[in-house]
Structure 1
Amino acid sequence: MYLVPERAIAELISARDCFTAVEQVFASMARRSAYNFPVIREAIGHRDALYGFKSGFDRDSLALGLKSGGYWPHNHERGLINHQSTIFLFDADTGKCKAVVGANLITALRTAAAAAVSVAHLARKDARTLGIVGAGHQAGFQLRAVLEQRPFGKVVAWNRTPDKLAALEKIAVDRGLEFQAVSLEELGAQSDVIVTITSSFAPVLENAVVKDGTHVVCMGTDTKGKQEVSADLVARAATFTDEVAQAVTIGECQHALALGAKTEAEIIEIGAVINGTHPGRTSEREVTLFDGTGVGLQDLAVAEVVLRSAIEKGAATEVEM
């Protein structure tokens, strides 16, 4: 069995590798060659933490395993990021554990890659202004990944505490892009693509501020009760997701369905667009929305790439079980 420590991950995989791995596993899911097992995510009654498991199996790549971890909201007090997790990979032929891989950076990279995949396949080709709602740890990863998908010239951003936008501004300015901190109304009026990445339990982005033709990427809702955008925005948009079963239970779509504003049949897997069995965006004025709930297969796909790279580069430690 191999151990790949968290500290080694950054040197073992690129953003392009993550994009390809996530795109391929979404396509495999839509072909029903890969499937996720039911998610377990619970409040543990200690340190206000959420803890759980995401797991799955891909028959094409033979990726089998699980990610264990969750969200510890007070970790900043200890100098740690709030999301903490570890991936366990198993041999699909024998069931033996073949690797334990640090998953904090992998989680950030695969989440950003999912957003990037949705932009690549659903945003208008002439999208030039990117809006970011939220400025937490994950926001920078989202910004870097999405900027690669269109020739954006400007980034506009909003956060409840505007001083936290400085990190996003640096990313934009380092790439030679204009950056502006704006109100949510201004953000909606200017943006061709909007990425929401918050931990909100009430709508932050309202339907009324989003202009026609926008692609909205909702990446923060992954738990029952969370909500980043108004239900009528989900109802208005052509809605896509990583996995429908998660979207309707723990994703952004849960609220629109509860109100009867959207049906499960109206939610399309992004893999169908990747595979060419669904057209995706159907007009320049259509609002599209990606409900990124985060599936275990994303983690496994990226972890498999990391493991191969770690073995090749001598960064994995082999141990006896």
Structure 2
Amino acid sequence: MTTPASGAGNPISIVSEAVCQQIVGRPEAFKAVENVFAAMARGDAYNFPVVREAIGHADALYGFKSGFDRAGMALGVKSGGYWPGNVQKDLTNHQSTVILFDPDTGQLKSLVGGNYLTAVRTAAASAVSIAHLARKDAKVLGMIGAGHQSTFQLRAALEQRDFEKVVAWNPHPEHLPRLAAVCEELRVPFEAVTQQELGAQADVIITITSAFEPLLLKEWIKPGTHIACMGTDTKGKQEVDPALLAAASVFTDEVAQSVLLGEAQHAVASGLIAESDITPIGEVINGTHVGRRDDQEITLFDGTGVGLQDLAVASAAAELADQKGLSQTIVL
């Protein structure tokens, strides 16, 4: 890390994608996300309104997620979006950067690569939901989706329970080997199945797709299942049957966003559930809500992806990078 001369201006740390991958692992991401969910439920952290628009070029969606975590003293914005053609350019579809500011002065503080952190914080959110809502005796993990983020989801989920098997389905089955490879590495049996078979076997299900139609129907899901819906983050997107939310106890990262652009948007719009039926998962973390009530209850986490998650993991990355001398510094 380069130290600027005294009085030379405002020092800004830059944390690259490579450094983020080096220093922020699943434990750090889990802790950061769990803490910020708890702060949100206490009223100590606030997300600001999301801006997300189609730019009319490259079929891209671009936007901003921002907020302030008073408990963690994180203020900033994540700028980026989704470029579906990037896979042909050997780039990840999701591209973003997190910009952090000093809450005491408003000065620019850090620029942090957001691509890896987006994947690891999304996986951390579903892992937090599994830790707090899944049955303790859950043995079979189901994966719906096998895209870039799926392996992050799989690795984080497998650490939360003593899973004995992974079953998976993807609209494009040729991508399933990436999940099978992780299971082979971790010595967990893997099976590619139909959607109905997945519902019949799985005790925990993660959906991580960009679907605009239900991929799981209510009648396929057995009692006691925990479902983490992680792909729906835009108006119109949908991964599960709205009737499934009506049959489940629904939890989320942020209720307002869940209703507006999360998986719950469809169930609320059709009158199957009300906004008041959705519980912030931070209340479970804080002990102000019981969470799962019994082993027959279906629980569902609507992981919409809030800006505070990005700020939390980016702040952790910036702090660790500075401590380890791995950040670069520029002066404005």
- Normalised TM-score (structure 1): 0.99
Show CA shifts across 1:14-60 (max 9, x none).
10010000000000000000010001111010000000000000111
1:249 aligns with 2:260: yes
Partner of residue 14, structure 2: 3
State the match for 1:161 in structure 2.
172
- Point out where structure 1 has 5 or more consecutive residues left out of the alignment: none
Query: In structure 1, the residue corresponding to 2:24 is in which secondary structure?
Result: coil
- Aligned partner of 1:93 in structure 2 is 104
In the alignment, which residue of structure 2 is the partner of 1:190?
201
Of 216, 225, 231, the residue aligned with 2:242 is 231
Measure how far apart 1:173 and its partner are.
Answer: 1.6
Alignment of 1:236-315 (within 5 A): 236-315=247-326
Work out the number of aligned pairs and report it.
321
The answer to whether 1:16 aligns with 2:23 is no
Q: Distance in 2 between matches of 1:215 and 1:76?
A: 31
Q: Counterpart of 1:50?
A: 61
Corresponding residue for 2:3?
none
Deviation at 1:261, TM superposition (A): 0.1
How far apart, in 1, do the equivalents of 2:18 and 2:181 lie?
Answer: 24
Letter in 2 for 1:232: A
Letter in 1 for 2:322: I
User: Match of 1:63?
Assistant: 74
2:47 corresponding residue in structure 1: 36
162-171 or 215-224: bigger deviation: 162-171
Give the C-alpha shift of residue 234 in structure 1: 0.8
Q: Percent identity?
A: 60
DSSP-derived class of the 1:319 partner: strand
- The answer to whether residue 127 in structure 2 is matched with residue 113 in structure 1 is no
SS in 1 for 2:129: helix
Q: Distance in 1 between matches of 2:41 and 2:222?
A: 30
The one-letter code of the counterpart of 1:117 is: V
CA deviation map 1:189-224 (0-9, x unaligned): 000000000000111111110100000000000000
SS in 1 for 2:250: strand
1:229 deviates by: 0.2
The separation in 2 between residues aligned to 1:320 and 1:163, in whole angstroms, is 48
Question: Which amino acid counterpart does residue 145 of structure 1 have in structure 2?
Answer: A
Secondary structure of 1:42's aligned partner: strand
**Post-superposition shift, 1:95?**
0.1
Query: Secondary structure of 2:261's match?
Result: coil
Task: Kindly provide the CA deviation profile for residues 297-321 of structure 1, in whole angstroms up to 9, marking residues without a partner as x.
Answer: 0010101110111111111111111
2:189 maps to 1:178:
yes
Distance 2:299 2:216 in 1: 14
Q: Name the structure 2 match of 1:132.
A: 143
For structure 2, list consecutive stretches of 5 or more residues without a partner in the other structure.
Answer: 1-11
Aligned partner letter, 1:133: I
* TM-score normalized by the length of structure 2: 0.96
What is the Cα deviation at residue 13 of structure 1?
1.2
Query: Separation in 1 of the partners of 2:25 and 2:213?
Result: 34
| Structure 1 ranges of 4+ moved more than 4 A | none
Deviation at 1:76, TM superposition (A): 1.1
Residue type of the partner of 1:258? A
How far apart, in 1, do the equivalents of 2:133 and 2:18 lie?
34
The structural deviation recorded for 1:77 is 1.6
1:203 aligns with 214
How far apart are the structure 1 equivalents of 2:320 and 2:27? 14
Q: Give the AA of the match of 2:247.
A: R
Rounded Cα–Cα distance in structure 2 between residues aligned with 1:176 and 1:101:
34
Encode CA deviations 1:99-126: one digit per residue, 9 max, x unaligned.
Answer: 0000000000000000000000000000
Cα RMSD, aligned residues only: 0.6
